[in-house]
Structure 1
């Protein structure tokens, strides 16, 4: 197991407490041509696991001017089986090549019997799952030689076998591995609506002192036969109105943090995405002028 000092060693290109956006090839010309005022860019690691070509040329040019965060979606750290060592080696190559300020993954599973699923699925929150996920996080951090951030999931149903509240599970994962957390407030909105709990109460219980980044996104909504609503973590629209107050609530607890606007499907023109980032920057600025709330789950 890697020692704590090695996990905590400084990395170049620290991410500022500003709003960033996901880097999309369609926006490359606008970004390189105008050098917009954006705090940072984030990329999905799996899109850069090839050796070269246009994706790397764009990322190299952007990396020269902006801090970079790498967000993985394929490690399946919540999976029942062992981590894919080849995939982990490819992730390490991306991280070593671009030296991002942050590296993150999901509390989820996405593989089965050697195949990759096109979704990030939640896990039952049990002692056995905690031990398995902690072992996987240790393995990733050992391979990368640095701390990673683990993101809270979006949930569509509750597991009968779950015995640990999600916020407690995440706090214990931090204690056991030395990892940090990525707080996705859109996932909080989705899970709270689907499972019937108060999203603000969730944030109050979240181990916010260990959060290193916040994500925002848009969700889809599907009506149900009984008149209820099912929210889907879709990343294909602007941030929903009920998610912005959750960002303000989280920042009031945590203080300024990097905030990433995710828009991965039906990607809009650059000015639309940039406007979402500017709106997030405005929330950050407003929260920076207010005192932190006391007495929440600072871990």
Structure 2
């Protein structure tokens, strides 16, 4: 059921570090050909920093850990690709479908393939108004269950960040800010929220991951890696834009899985594309850190 690409198989056989990547950024994050160009840039960044990239997707009812150039190109141009989380991953496999993996589904597939580190943009979390809608991403429960270290620029800034961090604390998920005492907020380096934990080196993060396994503690850990200074959109700038986009979503009755892609597209429009540029830079930054953590984990094996 799990197919490793030739590149990933070679790395696994040689016990070399591997970094998982999700595929929704390709199918639901940006238009063609920018989506495939960005995917290739992220994969190249991981290779340049000493690890092998493994973009994960479901193709014709099979889990693919690592995509060939042809598969990546085909997925980038595909339409009506399912967006898969924990809830619908098995159903897609059972019906021979094709789907892109979100954070939760990517973690599941990565863990089954023995990949311990995953780089993404931002995790899902508690949506604004969740006290009425109960709209909470499956990503949070996945972090509590699946032993993968996830490197992200925090949770997506369109979410209720304080509630997101509270839920992760309740679930016992280590939330570690990299190199600063404050939690980042996706497009912004600062959120005004103190980080529960701080680490400054990839080796410390790798040791923490390794020791959780040694102690038999289930679940993974979230590494909140701030966007590079030169690429960030300060909270004072992006905050009012997020508020307008959220109001627009409510006005148009957007709900469920459609909320996040709608908000990201609306924010892209309101920032004249600046939000997407920042998104690409933060993903590249997360890929670099994830590669370093994967290298250190391999040294601890």
Which TM-score applies when normalising by structure 2?
0.34
Which TM-score applies when normalising by structure 1?
0.34
Higher helix proportion (structure 1 or 2): 2
